[in-house]
Structure 1
């Protein structure tokens, strides 16, 4: 492959990682709840999740490439037929709006709890920044993720090397759990299903706009491996601080605070950036979907979506998270099973 093709593959990987790594991932709560609390079994669950991210991420983008999908509704119709595809896409529209509201509320919470600024100010500043960046379309998402993802990887490495100096670094291989085995076996499917169902809003247009399927394949491989790497490093760090780390609302923040104040504030900034990248991706996917059906100006759709998210964000980050995520997870699992079973046409050489 040419150097330019490698660059495009890395860009796809960065967008993939930036879309998956949202507020719950960056804070460590997702890693703790889905993997670390299951002890050593969580390690194997992460390895299997990494495989699923590579395989299904590639599958989503390749199909979008083959059918030249304009939005995720085109993908779902191709996968499941006109009626079922429309129903799934309608659910996803609601999911994207709900998760966007959660991300916006998360940004407001970071302003309020960590920077001692107004929650409403956080919502407004984040919403305005999101609107003007998305006027540039996919270019904005590529640019933001090209900056944020490398910084997140660097911070992950800092946490990793700090953990290596601890006497119980290998706890992730030996730590015990009281949870039954079947719960840890189900987590890779639940975790991957929810995250990939949301990521399709961005993965579909990426696949459709990419001219070479080899670029897609390498992008999915690099992105999936990157997600797996951040998961395993977070899991190793959290395992080394178990069980005390469970008391923190932001577990990785508790680890970072023990390192230094400067590292802690860098980490908080990264959390905000990760929330912002997920917000950009979800609003973008939502806007493409509505534009295709209504032909309304994309800028108007983006503005209305952000305004809706602002009013939904008044409910609060914690309340939105607890209410919407379990419902969306259940819906996403059905989508996951259907797409996993779908057989694709071979690539024409």
Structure 2
């Protein structure tokens, strides 16, 4: 495998890791943002995949072309200082909340697996996150490159197993879903918007791994389209199954556990990895935001932040997805449209440059005659 291909897959893996968190792998996000709209949910997933691919392409190419090293260098020149500071605060709050929730979820699984009190489980999860944070972006990249392929293959493998072994395909409407909004289009935009908050922040730190424009462009596009494919597999499972999974906190795990106990235990490990990678990517972005505002050594700041995470990691998992995520989705909608407008400007500039080149070439030929 060539070095360019390795770098493309590495960048795509990091991008995907910011989205494939516990909410995604558990099926809660897919169920609430897509499955609740029946057939429209599949249209929403396709739209989300296209948008993820466009966002990844636009942001990473901009990071490479303009040598952007952090989120502030990307945000403030685009929207100005006033709106930039508002967005900065929203991004910081979102990443901090995701860090707390994912540490809580991971702590719950750890405490159950080791048969220890819940608060010890969250403490272990926070310490593991702290260790990765102290390795800086290199540790995040290494962890994402290792964990994301495992998550992708594990989710797809478990999903296809359930699909192949289903007793029947039931494509009748599934009652009982509580839709996030009134239509799949808005829901899909919200889903992409709040995921872009952390995704863009992490992508702005990837300049050292963007060795060429091709790596930046391919990494963003492949990451976005792969997310859509995985989401479609999960949505098939949720869409065709019986309505009683609606009340499940972790619906995909409930479905898989009914088919195969061993596979269900394996999926618990996948969920733990998903929670951990989500906590690490969001937490790194949160620490970056705080570190840029205070003059404290990161070696001190990181343990302090991880220490505060433990006592406040007591928020409901599905409740967060159905309330906090959509709220940040509306906030992130501005960022989504801002990025798409930048992409349109990039396209117009490229077309204008191409037109100018063709015109000058024709003029040069005419002079020769």
TM > 0.5? yes
Cα distance between partner residues in 1 of 2:292 and 2:276: 24
Cα distance between partner residues in 2 of 1:77 and 1:238: 40
The alpha-carbon deviation at position 333 of structure 1 amounts to 1.9
The alpha-carbon deviation at position 243 of structure 1 amounts to 1.9
Match of 1:142 in 2: 141
Cα distance between partner residues in 1 of 2:147 and 2:113: 19
Cα distance between partner residues in 1 of 2:181 and 2:123: 44
> CA-to-partner distance for each residue in 1:168-196, whole Å, 9 max, x for gaps?
4473xx64779799511212101000111
The answer to whether the Cα contact below 8 Å between 2:9 and 2:219 also exists between their aligned partners in 1 is yes
Cα distance between partner residues in 2 of 1:181 and 1:130: 34
Match of 1:313 in 2: 313
Q: Residue 120 of structure 2: SS of its match in structure 1? A: helix
Q: Residue 294 of structure 1: SS of its match in structure 2? A: coil
Match of 2:77 in 1: 78
Match of 1:103 in 2: 102
Q: Residue 204 of structure 2: SS of its match in structure 1? A: helix
Cα distance between partner residues in 2 of 1:64 and 1:311: 36
The alpha-carbon deviation at position 224 of structure 1 amounts to 1.0
Match of 1:201 in 2: 201
Structure 1: 5+ residue stretches without partners: none
1:263-274 correspondence runs (5 A): 263-274=263-274
Structure 1 residues 249, 316: CA separation in 2 closer, same or farther (over 3 Å shift)?
closer
Cα distance between partner residues in 2 of 1:38 and 1:166: 22
Cα distance between partner residues in 2 of 1:21 and 1:114: 22
After TM superposition, the structure 1 stretch with the greater mean CA deviation from structure 2, 214-223 or 285-294, is 285-294
1:198-347 correspondence runs (5 A): 198-207=198-207, 209-315=209-315, 317=317, 324-342=324-342, 343-345=344-346
Match of 2:183 in 1: 183
The alpha-carbon deviation at position 208 of structure 1 amounts to 6.2
Match of 1:151 in 2: 150
Match of 1:132 in 2: 131
The alpha-carbon deviation at position 314 of structure 1 amounts to 4.0
Match of 2:22 in 1: 23
The alpha-carbon deviation at position 213 of structure 1 amounts to 1.5
Q: Does 1:120 align with 2:149?
A: no
Structure 2: 5+ residue stretches without partners: 355-369
The alpha-carbon deviation at position 322 of structure 1 amounts to 5.7
After TM superposition, the structure 1 stretch with the greater mean CA deviation from structure 2, 321-330 or 102-111, is 321-330
The alpha-carbon deviation at position 284 of structure 1 amounts to 1.3
> CA-to-partner distance for each residue in 1:19-63, whole Å, 9 max, x for gaps?
101111111011111111211111111111100000012212222
Structure showing greater radius of gyration is 2
The TM-score, its normalising length taken from structure 1, stands at: 0.90
Match of 2:60 in 1: 61
The alpha-carbon deviation at position 113 of structure 1 amounts to 5.1
The answer to whether the Cα contact below 8 Å between 1:70 and 1:288 also exists between their aligned partners in 2 is no
The answer to whether the Cα contact below 8 Å between 2:14 and 2:141 also exists between their aligned partners in 1 is yes
> CA-to-partner distance for each residue in 1:325-349, whole Å, 9 max, x for gaps?
3432221122222222234545799
The alpha-carbon deviation at position 231 of structure 1 amounts to 0.1
Corresponding residue pairs, total: 346
